[in-house]
Structure 1
Amino acid sequence: MYTLPSALKQEIGKYNELIKEYQSKKIDPKEFKAFRVPMGIYEQREDGTYMVRVRCSAGFISPAQLKRVAEIAQKYGSRLIHITTRQELQIQNLELQDTYHVLQDLYAIGLASRGGGGNTVRNIMASVDAGISNDEVFDVTPYNIALTNYLIAQPDSWTLPRKYKISFSGSDKDNAFAAFNDLGFVARVKDGQKGFKVYIGGSLGSQPMVGHVLFDFVPAGDILYVADAVKKLFSRYGNRRNKHKARLRFVFYKLGKEKVFELFNQIYDEIKQVKQLHFELPLLSPVSPTINLPVETPVDKSAFTLWEERYVTQQKQAGYVSILIPFEHGDVGPGIIKSLGEFLTPFGEDVVRFSMRQNIHLRNIPKQYTATVYNFLQGIGVDTAQSYILNSLVSCTGANTCRLGICLSKGASGRLREKLASSGLSLDRLNGIRINISGCPNSCGQQTNADIGFYGKVGRTDRMFPAYNVVAGAVIGNGNPQLAELVGSVSAWDMPDLTIDILRSYLNNKGTNHSFSDYFKAGGKEDIKNLCQEYSKIPDFKDDKNYYFDWGSDQIFSLAGKGTGECSAGLFDMIDVDYNTIRQSRDEIKGITDPNKAASLLAKIVTASSRMLLITKGVEPKDSAGIFDGFTERFIKAGLVSGKYSEVVNAVKNGDYAGLPSQKNLVFDLAADVIDLYENMDDSLQFPAEKEKEQPKEEVTNKVALKKDLRGVACPMNFVKTKIELSKLKSDDILEVLLDDGEPIENVPGSVKGEGHKILVQERIGNYWSVVIQKR
């Protein structure tokens, strides 16, 4: 449906040349990766295994293309096609050389993977029911395709500070989450003219944000100007140094809404003065006038009736229906996809859309063929008998294949599905409840716009265990979008049971036609917090080993096998515990009138603020006094934070909380200063004041300049201490570290390489390892 860029064929050829140079070690792996990822090709968790992400604007693909994608997957040995939460397809488990041939074959059928990854314009989403919904203002699909055609033809769409996500919704219900994208368009009509309400800066990742309303109405003909101006704003002012603060929302956090809007308007006016941007709306193929298929009766009348109630929707076009085809986790074999493409061909070109809940939605199916479709789905093995909620759980791929994954989110989702099916809950009353799971703090599973959401983290008792932060209560659409709120945490083992308890509480309290967000606001938030607290006790490993295994794994939980920066993930995960404690306690104290409760919350803030960044200094306090002593020594006396905070730090150290309510502003200032330090910390874990004090390092020869014995130091502290030692050296200096066998040697070298340093030697010496590192 979209038009392939003129430069794409040449870029595919260049990619093939780079594969050869990479395989013959003529280019640095980072140089190859920098080209490969923006082409939409990711390396999976297993070394040497890749996937190709196929752009499907508005979730559209023709039946013929669908069939050919399946054939391409089969041709190169892939047994898995994955539907993503951005309405795309992924061909999984490919050999590197085959990825080039896949790109060639996709090009031949009018599809591309360019922009499937990296710092690029990503797949542009649209309401899955665009063009067929009774509620829509107008069909946004043609505008989506037109904007796609424009942006993917621009060279600067591939060199942004970070990903640029765009979405179109057909009404204020915002079922394409326009308010949660970097740029979102919501269809409107004003004085008979088509146009859009425009959101800017939304995002669901770390430190998520609901988009600001940039325009209450902009004419439809101006969308190219708007998207181009936002792209140029992002390119000029986005953070290219720190990928963790590189999304568009961080420009708002840094400059503020008024300044960003001022800069946007300057760029917007500049573009309008120098460019004339016009576009033609693509014509969508009409439904097929003749369908040479038999009209069948259902093989099981009662089962068909129940399925029809759950999965079939009347379109606004009289006599036509939309049919949802569910796939658990969005995973489906190419054989099923091929059969589906063949079956749907007689129904015309505009028959398939991929949804953000990782399913396929058929459209423009004449109502008399509903049973024919049902019988076909039964015949190819699609599960048609389950309640909708069991087929609408969203999970990213997690640690199964993703190099950033912490938890096995698909395993957790699968176990939740099993437990829900046998829970005794009235599942059909839960239709529309959004449960989303991500395996790490990134938001590929879109947990922060869910009714109930989870994102993976590292929990700790006497050792690491898989766990999730719990968020809930997102509000979508109707002019009042809100992110889900953090309400607690839970072990991976207990997550399915907690979810069922939350749903039971919702059903018991929902009343008539109450949404989950209504329940959340009317007391559900406290119910969920209390339920999380009930699951907070984690037994030690010797008492119950179940908690230390992730769902679907027979290995004790660790970060081994995680890709770039897995120790960094553990490090920042630990920092985030205190960061979130500060945020939650600050919010909670607003409604507290009891001075004792207020004092207790303020003490929590002081403790979390004092502990939050100790790990960056390699400090592991043995007790609570060690937290405050370490903070005083490494941060107050070092001049990183003001000495004025010594009073409240010492008061909490000594258990003297009574005076804290009168010093609330001082406590809040302490927390704000610590958070500011964190947000300005560089990749070597240094803070601005430290960099100002740095002295030029003496020249040293290319021999081991430092040696550090880290035996007995656990992850991620061993990685932190390695970073601290590296920060003392100049570029090309050599550091030798000694690491224990097991998790330390499995994790630290990979994290060091992920930060750009070079591993020269990795050698076992008895029961430990010597790792020799050359600083970048």
Structure 2
Amino acid sequence: MQSFRSELENPLVAKEIIDLEKKIRAFREGKIHDEKFRSLRLARGIYGQRQPGVQMVRIKIPFGKITFKQILKIADVSDEYASKNLHFTTRQDIQIHYVSLDRTPELWAKLAEDDITIREACSNTVRNVTASCTAGIDPAEPFDVSAYAHGFFKYFLGNPVSMELGRKFKFGFSSSEEDTAFSFIHDIGFIPKVKYENGEEIRGFKVLLGGSLGAQPYIGQLVTDFMHEDLIIPFSEAVLRVFDRYGERTNRNKARLKFLLNKVGFEEFLKMVEEERVSTKVKTYKIDTSVIDTPNIPEPVEITVEIPAYKQLAYEMWSATNVFQQKQEGFYGVFVKVKTGDMSTEKVRKFVEAVRPLIADEMRVTINQGLLLKYVRKEALPALYLILDELGLSEPGHNSVADVTTCPGTDTCNLGISNSMELSRVLEALVHEEYEDFVYNKEIKIKISGCMNSCGQHGIAHIGFHGSSMKVNGKIMPTVQVLLGGGAVGNGEGRAADKIIKVPSKRAPQVLRTILDDYRIKGESFGSFLNYYDGLGKDYFYQLLKPIADQETVTDEDFIDWGQNEDFVRAIGVGECAGVVIDLVATLIFETEEKYGWALEAYDQQLWSDAIYHAYNTLVSGAKAVLLDKGISQSTQIGIIKAFDEHSAAEFDVDGFENLVLQINKYEPSQEFAEAYLAQARDFLEKVKSFRGRTEQVG
């Protein structure tokens, strides 16, 4: 490995990359436990693949905004370090695959040259902040939410409040009441609102809390119809602080915010958040809306391109489904469908070179795994279409029935049960070949996940599938669980899909045909797909699809998954979406010292709030080490604090450990309190280290 000190101007990024390099070396030398190292690399966007010995690297693309230079840099990095492919995700990230662990620091340094990060793209952190891809050009938006999404990204990246949560945490910003960013599936979701006082426009947001997909989808609950723009970051920080302290940390299946809300009650949780706000870093926070400039727009050029007659119908369909007029007069946004979210680096370069003269130097990765091109002049649309057509990127039907969302499934994911990528290609082809009228239908969304965890968002699909399996005639058969009736209603309201029936994976096209055929006949009288589903009822669809699930009619073909040639084998690895809980006392004490070191660094930089929070984590981590040394385990930070008082406070000569630790939410962050709190954390750390030394000698 090489040193990166001279490669980067940002000293913090350089320090983090060097630290990753050191930790990889320590791991290779057996100095860091493999489970602990897993959590370290996940926090840096490095995720173990299904294939042994290689990694997926997730690259954060805040709210999907990416320039020509950045996407070309990622293509260069994928060529040098990965598989010469970019994968666009439903959270507007870009993933690259088959990366050697030892080369990840070098890879990160290359990306950082163009202000691209992999930090906190995985693990128990604030994940990529998403937003409607049309933000800034959406004719229906009250104002552009891009700067607010960017402000959240900057504020919480590397923030001690969100670096090591009990589970991942997600923010999402929709551009309008259409709610195209699905605010209701986020831990905190935002929809822009304006009101007027004395003739002055005041910006704010409708705020929803506790949404999530996964195996148990939850629809976010309303906090308020209007929160002033300057209060959304302080509120969100307070939520994170309460979640960090009281959230589950042992059972990852019960560790999302939604479970804590169920445990303590929604109103009680909001009360806890309000009490926490005294100790937040800021009481109001003005987000700088000037950071999002109008991108560089190409000058108008005389274009004489005409669409050939044999392509005219295809062009008209593309124009009707993939093109819309921006709020900026004279300009159009153009959606590019990217099959399964995958684009080779060779195609990326050809694409950028060809479209550069016709579009603004700012694209957006969409939540349905494509790209949005901006500021296209009307006269340039035919030329742009022909360019995209030559590259195989002109398929119509963006965000329609023919635009199927999918996760990677068994292609690369440890948790994948079935091949969702190939199934999505099959279903898209079916719609184009047999149901061309549905290419214009932007109401019905088909979404596929390779397992129940909903990375492909099947939990909110109008028509959804997730990978599963069952034993039939003594053999394991790949199946899909069919779900119906989910989707966005608008203005923060959403629906979780109902599980209907499980069918052989190879019969998923038959399921889709049956539903679309029935909807053609009966749907018009209901006015919408959701009304159609509600009107006929869940049992109607169970009975409709039941013949497709008949095990008496299975054939040898049903035992072979999509894209495979041999009988299905259910092979699931260890999931890595969350960090791993490490109950090794020595490792915990090492972590405790590291956290105290971070507290001192923050104090030296006069970051009083950060120093205080690192000191808080020092106290909790040290107490956890002591308890585990005694065989006492707790699944929440508040549980650790209370258990230490019960079992160890007297032994450590600590009069009220809970009172000591929870000073954190009783005082405003100040130099005086930071100095006192750090001194208490230092004294406690020394006692923990001394205690550990005594117990090791006894052992």
**Is TM more than 0.5 here?**
yes
C-alpha distance in structure 2 between counterparts of 1:565 and 1:177, whole Å: 25
**Structure 1 position 167 matched with structure 2 position 183:** no
Residue 422 of structure 1 aligns to a residue whose secondary structure is helix
Q: 1:390 to 1:545 in 2, by over 3 A?
A: same
Matching residue of 1:551: 562
Where in structure 2 are the equivalents of 1:375-414 lying within 5 Å? Answer: 375-384=386-395, 389=400, 392-414=403-425
Where in structure 2 are the equivalents of 1:277-676 lying within 5 Å? Answer: 277-288=285-296, 290-291=298-299, 295-301=303-309, 302=312, 303-346=314-357, 351-384=362-395, 389=400, 392-424=403-435, 426-461=437-472, 462-476=474-488, 477-478=490-491, 480-511=493-524, 514-523=527-536, 525-539=538-552, 544-560=555-571, 562-564=572-574
C-alpha distance in structure 1 between counterparts of 2:265 and 2:82, whole Å: 50
Q: What's the CA shift for 1:433?
A: 1.8
The amino acid of 1:162's aligned partner reads: R
Q: 1:390 to 1:333 in 2, by over 3 A?
A: farther
Q: 1:270 to 1:433 in 2, by over 3 A?
A: same
TM-score by length of 1: 0.69
Q: 1:296 to 1:451 in 2, by over 3 A?
A: farther
Q: What's the CA shift for 1:296?
A: 4.2
The amino acid of 1:262's aligned partner reads: K
Q: What's the CA shift for 1:428?
A: 3.0
C-alpha distance in structure 2 between counterparts of 1:213 and 1:35, whole Å: 35
**Structure 1 position 97 matched with structure 2 position 108:** no
8 A contact 2:448–2:456 mirrored in 1: yes
**Structure 1 position 18 matched with structure 2 position 23:** yes
C-alpha distance in structure 1 between counterparts of 2:224 and 2:204, whole Å: 10
Matching residue of 1:182: 187
**Structure 1 position 259 matched with structure 2 position 268:** yes
**Structure 1 position 225 matched with structure 2 position 234:** yes
**Structure 1 position 208 matched with structure 2 position 217:** yes
**Cα deviation per residue 1:384-405 (whole Å; 9 max; x = unaligned)?**
3678647510110011110011
Q: Tell me whether 18-27 or 315-324 shows the greater mean CA deviation.
A: 18-27
C-alpha distance in structure 1 between counterparts of 2:525 and 2:315, whole Å: 28
8 A contact 1:471–1:486 mirrored in 2: yes
Q: What's the CA shift for 1:440?
A: 0.8
Q: Tell me whether 84-93 or 462-471 shows the greater mean CA deviation.
A: 462-471
**Cα deviation per residue 1:448-471 (whole Å; 9 max; x = unaligned)?**
111111112222222321112222
Q: 1:48 to 1:269 in 2, by over 3 A?
A: same
8 A contact 1:67–1:339 mirrored in 2: no
Matching residue of 2:57: 52
**Structure 1 position 194 matched with structure 2 position 203:** yes
Where in structure 2 are the equivalents of 1:30-109 lying within 5 Å? Answer: 30-109=35-114
8 A contact 2:397–2:403 mirrored in 1: no
8 A contact 2:87–2:95 mirrored in 1: yes
**Cα deviation per residue 1:707-728 (whole Å; 9 max; x = unaligned)?**
xxxxxxxxxxxxxxxxxxxxxx
Q: 1:479 to 1:93 in 2, by over 3 A?
A: closer
The amino acid of 2:223's aligned partner reads: L
Residue 304 of structure 1 aligns to a residue whose secondary structure is helix
C-alpha distance in structure 2 between counterparts of 1:518 and 1:96, whole Å: 50
C-alpha distance in structure 2 between counterparts of 1:5 and 1:267, whole Å: 32
Q: What's the CA shift for 1:242?
A: 0.7
Structure 1: which 5+ residue stretches go unaligned?
A: 567-681, 684-776
Residue 453 of structure 1 aligns to a residue whose secondary structure is strand
**Structure 1 position 150 matched with structure 2 position 158:** no
Matching residue of 1:238: 247
C-alpha distance in structure 1 between counterparts of 2:304 and 2:57, whole Å: 38
Q: Identity over aligned residues, as a percent?
A: 31
Q: 1:367 to 1:422 in 2, by over 3 A?
A: closer
The amino acid of 2:305's aligned partner reads: T
Residue 531 of structure 1 aligns to a residue whose secondary structure is helix
Q: 1:225 to 1:357 in 2, by over 3 A?
A: same
8 A contact 1:146–1:282 mirrored in 2: no
**Cα deviation per residue 1:337-388 (whole Å; 9 max; x = unaligned)?**
1233334444676530111110101111122211221122123232436786
Within the candidate set 130, 135, 140, 2:145 is matched to 140
8 A contact 1:408–1:439 mirrored in 2: yes
8 A contact 2:458–2:465 mirrored in 1: yes
TM-score by length of 2: 0.76
The amino acid of 1:286's aligned partner reads: T
**Cα deviation per residue 1:499-557 (whole Å; 9 max; x = unaligned)?**
121122122222179332122122164442222322221248xx622221111112322
Q: What's the CA shift for 1:276?
A: 5.4
C-alpha distance in structure 1 between counterparts of 2:284 and 2:430, whole Å: 57
8 A contact 2:401–2:444 mirrored in 1: no
Where in structure 2 are the equivalents of 1:744-759 lying within 5 Å? Answer: none
Q: Tell me whether 188-197 or 341-350 shows the greater mean CA deviation.
A: 341-350
C-alpha distance in structure 1 between counterparts of 2:393 and 2:455, whole Å: 25
**Cα deviation per residue 1:601-621 (whole Å; 9 max; x = unaligned)?**
xxxxxxxxxxxxxxxxxxxxx
Q: 1:539 to 1:332 in 2, by over 3 A?
A: farther
Q: What's the CA shift for 1:246?
A: 0.6
Q: 1:547 to 1:391 in 2, by over 3 A?
A: same
Q: 1:355 to 1:553 in 2, by over 3 A?
A: same
C-alpha distance in structure 2 between counterparts of 1:198 and 1:26, whole Å: 45
**Cα deviation per residue 1:207-226 (whole Å; 9 max; x = unaligned)?**
21111111221001111112
Structure with the larger RCO, 1 or 2 (CA within 8 Å, 6+ apart): 2
8 A contact 2:510–2:548 mirrored in 1: no
What is the CA RMSD across the aligned residues, in angstroms? 2.5
C-alpha distance in structure 2 between counterparts of 1:387 and 1:235, whole Å: 39
Q: What's the CA shift for 1:293?
A: 5.6
Residue 117 of structure 1 aligns to a residue whose secondary structure is coil
Q: What's the CA shift for 1:20?
A: 2.5
Matching residue of 2:132: 127
C-alpha distance in structure 2 between counterparts of 1:484 and 1:350, whole Å: 38
Q: Tell me whether 382-391 or 173-182 shows the greater mean CA deviation.
A: 382-391
The amino acid of 1:193's aligned partner reads: I
C-alpha distance in structure 1 between counterparts of 2:530 and 2:401, whole Å: 20
Q: What's the CA shift for 1:254?
A: 1.4
**Cα deviation per residue 1:691-716 (whole Å; 9 max; x = unaligned)?**
xxxxxxxxxxxxxxxxxxxxxxxxxx
Q: Tell me whether 376-385 or 62-71 shows the greater mean CA deviation.
A: 376-385
8 A contact 1:326–1:391 mirrored in 2: no
